[in-house]
Structure 1
Amino acid sequence: MMPQRKQKLVRFDRPTTRQGIGILALFLIGTALIAGMILRQATAFSSGVLHANEGRYSLALEVAATSRQRRKGLMERDSLAPDAGMLFVYDEEQTGDHAFWMYRARIPLDIAFLDHAGEIQSITSMVPCTTEKEACPRYPAGTSFWMALEVNAGYFNEHGIAAGDRLEIAP
Structure 2
Amino acid sequence: MRTERVLAAAGLLLALGLVGATLVAAGVLPPAFLGSPPADDDYDRTAVVVSDENGTELGRVEARIADTRQKRYTGLSNTSSLPEDEGMLFVHDDPQSLTYVMRGMDFGIDIVFVAENGTVTGIEHAPEPPEGEDGNDYRYTGEGKYVLEVNYDWTTRHGVTVGDRVHAEGVGLERSE
Residue 62 of structure 1, aligned match among 64, 75, 84: 64
**TM-fit CA distance, 1:136:** 2.1
Q: Equivalents in 1 of 2:87, 2:169: separation in Å?
A: 14
TM-score (ref. length: structure 1): 0.68
- In structure 2, give the amino acid aligned to 1:153: Y
Structure 2 match to 1:162: 161
SS of 2:51's equivalent in the other structure is: strand
- One-letter amino acid matched to 2:121: Q
Cα deviations across residues 59-93 of structure 1 (Å, max 9, x unaligned)? 10110000100000000322111111100000112
1:85 aligns with 2:87: yes
* Counterpart contact for 2:50–2:164, Cα < 8 Å: yes
Provide the secondary structure at the position in 1 that maps to 2:45. strand
| Contact 1:53/1:160 (<8 A) preserved | no
User: Shift of residue 109 of structure 1?
Assistant: 0.2
Q: Deviations over 1:75-125 (max 9, x none)?
A: 032211111110000011222xx3111021001000110000111001001
Q: How much does 1:49 deviate?
A: 1.2
1:43/1:154 Cα in 2 relative to 1: closer, same or farther (>3 Å)? same
Between structure 1 and structure 2, the one with the greater Rg is 1
Name the SS for the 1:117 alignment partner: coil
Does the 8 Å CA contact 1:104/1:128 hold for their aligned counterparts? no
Q: What is the alpha-carbon distance in structure 2 between the residues aligned to residue 85 and residue 137 of structure 1?
A: 20
Please state how far the C-alpha of 1:132 moved relative to its aligned partner: 5.4
Contact preservation (8 Å) 2:65, 2:89:
yes
- 2: CA distance between counterparts of 1:65 and 1:75? 16
Q: What letter is aligned with 1:151? A: V
Unaligned runs of 5+ in 2: 1-37, 171-177
The 8 Å contact of residues 86 and 151 in structure 1, kept in 2 or not, is answered as yes
> CA separation of 1:122/1:134 partners in 2, compared to 1, >3 Å: closer, same or farther?
closer
Instruction: Please give the TM-score of this superposition, normalised by the length of structure 2.
Output: 0.66
Q: Distance in 2 between matches of 1:122 and 1:166?
A: 12
Partner of 2:116: 116
Which deviations, in whole Å up to 9, do the C-alpha atoms of 1:16-67 show, x marking residues without a partner? xxxxxxxxxxxxxxxxxxxxxx9xx921111121102694122101100001
Deviation of 1:133 (Å): 4.1
For 1:86-165, list aligned pairs within 5 A.
Answer: 86-95=88-97, 98-129=98-129, 131=132, 133=134, 136-141=137-142, 144-165=143-164
